[in-house]
Amino acid sequence: MMVRKVMIAVLAFLAFAAEAVSADLPPEPLSHAGMVKAAIEQYIIPHIDALKAATAPLPDAVDNVCKTGSPEAEKALQEHFDKAVIAYAGVDFLRFGPMLENGRREQISFWPDPRGFVARQMRLLLLNKDDTIAQPGAIRKQSAAVQGLPALEALMHDKNVPLGPGDAAHYRCLVAHAIAINVASLATEVADGWEKPDGWADKMLHPGPSNDTYKSNSEAAVEVVKALIVGLGLTADLQVKPQIDAKVRLTPPYDKSGLQKAYYATSVASLHQLYDVLNLESWLPPDRLWMKDWVVGTWRTLESSDGVGGHMPHAKREDAPTLREVFDRTNGLRNMVANRLSVAAKLTVGFNELDGD
Amino acid sequence: MNSMAIDRRHVLLGTLAFIGATALRPAFAGAATTAAYVTAARLADGSFGILLLSADGTVLREVPLSARGHDIAVDQASGRVVVFARRPGAFAVSFEINKSTPPHVFTPGEGRHYFGHGSFSQDGRLLYASENDIATGMGVIGIYDVARSFKKIGEHSTFGMGPHEIMLLADGKTIACGNGGLDTTPEAGRENLNVDSMQPSLTFVDAESGKLLAKHEMTGNVKSLSIRHVTQDAKGVVWFGGQWEGSPSETPPQIVGSVGLDRPFKLLEPQGKGGDDLKGYIGAMAVSNDGRFIAASAPKAGHVLYVDTETATVIGRSNLKDVCGLAAEGARDFAASSGFGVIRYETAQASKISERALQDVAFDNHLRRIA
């Protein structure tokens, strides 16, 4: 039943996102300025706002569980939590601008966590029992590992001391509430960072010599294309690869809540939406139009997988793609965007500049 | 198998495209059969390899790799080179420039991976490599016996987390370690796990005993400046370039600086909004052959910064999209390579001497002079 609810939440999110990009795509190539505008208006802002909206109910939902301990309250908290995670999956790869400021990305969603920092730091926090954790902003002074959604999930799923009324869970409830407020605040800060006058949207929409980040429309457009490339890489390397390479031991995202499939589905759907918004294919010369068919087949493959080796319900492909195929196709698409489509669109995404080293 | 015994000499001769209007300098033009540079690269078919280039940019030899390489350690006396896998890779490939013997592949051993950089001892008998102790996240200097097919014979600590470039200094006894301060594991790919608590530093380690000689930590408003690359000038001063991991709005005005065994680090005086202009990332450092000038590449910004070490001032800044690889050329000039296949010669005053491009080849982060 819970899985069904989650998938309904995913589908609701995707329907919202699809609506956000439902405007007919222009038949002509978008200019670089047009790409940036489209990405901001049709993808980034709607998804950032969705994260803000999805995280806002978390503090009250935590409070309700802590006051009543009722199954209904627990269920409601889990549903709100799932929606917040799904909303975050839609912006996980927007690793620039307000999400980078003050390390907000790690604070909202400290994953991957191969060293188990969330559990370790949470143990320390619970041992210390410092009541000042309830004070505004106190949680921000803690490790990023205990500030966000994975830390809240850990408290929600600790069967030894479940959240609820009573002394045993009192301090945990203080921490959970502080985390929930923090996540909602961080999402609000990210949204404000994008949307305020002279915020990041303005910065991207108005490049020039006096702009300290983007000197041209091309630079701003490259930023968005890089996010798409980063997102494809994250999906392949962190969500799919651990399942096909025995040497890679990585707990899936939000595993305690059973959100691995939902996270994958949202990641793929979100990347597909951003890809469509950018409309890079419209720049392809006639002799390269075969790439469009390859890309269509690749999205079909990725969206026909449930992300764990099974078949996505209502998928366009009848068979379940193997995870190896999903991994290879995702990397292939990453390379296609980085080395072919961006070049066709006269956007130069550098080999060395992409992620530093 | 990380490298195949395939040696495709001259295969890319036909892909050369001359794009500079300036004629090559005579000193460069006549040496088309002598290998002058080595670099890792992405090749036309999307695969990865090591390229030996003549001074005029001609590809003389190509050694395929199964994954992306990074920097190359060069032992000038023996003509031996070692290319290291890009982090978190776990292979290194050695071969001799003037021989056609098959490349030799070796690894850092269980529980370790490379960070892409290394350095030979002055006598060429040992190789030092920057590595990750995956279990703890602490940096180590792997020590390899060259004569015994690069058998690993020991390790020293780098006294920091996430070392990137390590360099044996001119005294032949001290290793400078750029500890990026970032915790990474192969499981998490290239994700940084501790940006909020990172502690970057530049350490000096005795190459023989492994003793820590000095440690200079990035603190205060540069605590998020991950030290990535190092080089040394004629006076023995170590110069470093960093990668900013903190808030974009707090990018320091300069991310290139100098440090010594007995003196703390000092960033260059800002030349306007230097940090912003460099987009927070220095991809490689090099020193001129006379030791006076430093070059620092900023691939995200598409700039090379030139510094006169006598005055510690920026004396030139050139523009080249996705520039990263740097190497000395002549007494005071530099060669720079880019991810778009361009190799360019320019002076420390940032005047272009000549430029060539290889079609469909992307030069990786580092370029090393081998002759």
What digits encode the pLDDT tens for the residues B283-329?
999 999 999 999 999 999 999 999 999 999 999 999 999 999 999 99
Contact call for A352 and B249, based on CB within 8 A: no
Average pLDDT over residues B230-256: 94
- Furthest-apart CA atoms within chain B: distance in Å: 53
Average pLDDT over residues A28-52: 96
N-terminal to C-terminal alpha carbon distance within chain A? 45
Query: Band of the pLDDT at B9, cuts 50, 70, 90?
Result: very low
Query: Band of the pLDDT at A313, cuts 50, 70, 90?
Result: confident
A232: Cα within 13 Å, side-chain hemisphere: 25
Contacts of residue B323 in chain A, CB cutoff 8 Å? Answer: 352
Q: Distance from A108 to chain B by nearest Cα, in Å?
A: 13
B275: Cα within 13 Å, side-chain hemisphere: 23
Q: Which residues of A, range 225-254, sit inside 8 Å of B by Cβ?
A: 233-234, 237-238, 241-242, 247-250
Contact B342, B354 (CB under 8 A): no
Query: For residue B253, what are its two tokens?
Result: 């005005």
Average pLDDT over residues A184-205: 98
Q: What average pLDDT is seen over chain A?
A: 93
B281 secondary structure, DSSP code:
B
Is residue B59, in this structure, part of any structural domain at all?
A: no
Contacts of residue B364 in chain A, CB cutoff 8 Å? Answer: 351-352
Report the relative pairing of strands B293-298 and B342-347 from DSSP bridges: unpaired
- Furthest-apart CA atoms within chain A: distance in Å: 70
pLDDT score for B22 = 29
pLDDT score for B89 = 93
Query: For residue B293, what are its two tokens?
Result: 């000038």
pLDDT at B94 over 50: yes
The number of domains in chain B is 1
Contacts for B26 with CB less than 8 Å, ≥ 6 apart: none
Q: Which residues of B, range 292-351, sit inside 8 Å of A by Cβ?
A: 299-300, 302, 321-324, 338-340
Contact B105, B115 (CB under 8 A): no
**Exposed, middle or buried by CB within 10 Å (0-12, 13-18, 19+), for A313?**
exposed
pLDDT at A9 over 70: no
3-state secondary structure (DSSP) of residue A116: coil
Contacts for A109 with CB less than 8 Å, ≥ 6 apart: A85, A88, A92, A148, A149, A150
Please give the residue that has the higher pLDDT: either B23 or A352.
A352
Contacts of residue A353 in chain B, CB cutoff 8 Å? Answer: 279, 281, 283, 299-300, 302, 322, 324, 339
Contacts for B143 with CB less than 8 Å, ≥ 6 apart: B126, B127, B128, B152, B153, B154, B155, B156
Query: Band of the pLDDT at B253, cuts 50, 70, 90?
Result: confident
Nearest to A234 by CA among A95, A46, A47, A87: A95
Distance, CA of A297 to CA of B211 (rounded, Å): 57
pLDDT score for A323 = 98
Contacts of residue B249 in chain A, CB cutoff 8 Å? Answer: 101
Q: What percent of chain B has pLDDT over 70?
A: 89
Helix (H) or strand (E) holding B62: strand B59-65
Q: What average pLDDT is seen over chain B?
A: 89
- The amino acid that residue A203 corresponds to is K
Length of chain A: 357
Report the relative pairing of strands B303-308 and B313-319 from DSSP bridges: antiparallel
Query: Band of the pLDDT at B200, cuts 50, 70, 90?
Result: very high
Distance, CA of A154 to CA of A172 (rounded, Å): 11
Contacts of residue A97 in chain B, CB cutoff 8 Å? Answer: 248
Is residue B209, in this structure, part of any structural domain at all?
A: yes
pLDDT at A258 over 90: yes
Is residue B217, in this structure, part of any structural domain at all?
A: yes
Distance, CA of B107 to CA of B125 (rounded, Å): 18
| CB < 8 Å & 24+ apart, contacts of B45-48 | B46/A335, B46/A339
Report the relative pairing of strands B333-338 and B163-168 from DSSP bridges: unpaired
Query: Band of the pLDDT at A179, cuts 50, 70, 90?
Result: very high
pLDDT at B274 over 50: no
Q: What percent of chain B has pLDDT over 90?
A: 82
Is residue B37, in this structure, part of any structural domain at all?
A: no
**Predicted model pTM:** 0.90
Query: Band of the pLDDT at B32, cuts 50, 70, 90?
Result: low
Which of A101, A233, A249 lies closest to B187 in CB terms?
A: A249
Q: Distance from B136 to chain A by nearest Cα, in Å?
A: 9
Average pLDDT over residues B75-82: 96
Q: Which ipTM did the prediction report?
A: 0.89
Chain B residue closest to A239 (CA)? B188
Contacts of residue B196 in chain A, CB cutoff 8 Å? Answer: 103, 106-107, 143-144
Is residue B29, in this structure, part of any structural domain at all?
A: no
Is residue B63, in this structure, part of any structural domain at all?
A: no
Is residue B365, in this structure, part of any structural domain at all?
A: yes
A299 secondary structure, DSSP code:
H
pLDDT at B264 over 70: yes
Is residue B89, in this structure, part of any structural domain at all?
A: yes
pLDDT score for A349 = 86
3-state secondary structure (DSSP) of residue A223: helix
pLDDT at B17 over 70: no
B45 secondary structure, DSSP code:
T
Average pLDDT over residues B237-262: 93
Phi, psi of A267 (to 5 degrees): -60, -50
Distance, CA of A288 to CA of A294 (rounded, Å): 11
Q: What percent of chain A has pLDDT over 70?
A: 92
Q: What is the dihedral of CA B342, B346, B351, B355, to 10 degrees?
A: -30
Contact B336, B367 (CB under 8 A): yes
Nearest to B65 by CA among B36, B39, B29: B39
Query: For residue A81, what are its two tokens?
Result: 């939590």
pLDDT at A20 over 60: no
**For residue B84, what are the domain limits?**
68-369
Average pLDDT over residues B172-178: 98
Cα B90 versus chain centre, distance:
17
Contacts for B15 with CB less than 8 Å, ≥ 6 apart: B44, B59, B358, B359, B360, B361
